[in-house]
Amino acid sequence: MYEELINVILSEKEALNKLLSLLDNQYSFILKKDIFGLDDVANKIQACNKEIAEEEVKRRKLVGSNSMKEVVFSSGNERLEESYRDIIKLLEAVRLQKDTNDLLLKQQLSYTNQMLTYINPNREMKTYNSYGKMSR
């Protein structure tokens, strides 16, 4: 069972490395403001996510209802523990890159919305509400 689990973890690690490289590509497209590149890489990221989900299902079938951490550290298999630690580090790197990309996209969307508001302001009559604030 442990060898099968190691193989599943290694294949999941390959898929996560692929996802990390796609997220790096997405980061560069965000900085270059390349919309078509972003669209293309988004489709590739979705396909990679499906691949990771399939590997995750395989892993859950092997582990069952037990915690992955418990299974790994109770096994006494050094190779399994090392693979598990590597995949945890990789997951953290993927999460960090994803959060960075999300933050950059939100900043750019906020800036775009501000520019659109300046170009085409709301021309409705401003009124005060019951709290003395102007409604917009």
- Is residue 135, in this structure, part of any structural domain at all? no
CATH of residue 43's domain is 1.20.58
Q: Give the pLDDT band of residue 136 (cuts 50, 70, 90).
A: low
Domain that includes residue 88, residue range: 2-119
Domain count of the fold of the chain: 1
- Is residue 89, in this structure, part of any structural domain at all? yes
> Residues of the chain with pLDDT > 90: what percent?
55
- pTM, entire model: 0.80
Q: Residue 16's closest CA among 93, 100, 99, 96?
A: 93
Q: How many CB atoms lie within 10 A of CB 77?
A: 17
Mean pLDDT of the chain: 89
pLDDT tens-digit map of 30-76: 999 998 999 999 999 999 999 999 999 998 998 888 888 888 888 88
- Is residue 82, in this structure, part of any structural domain at all? yes
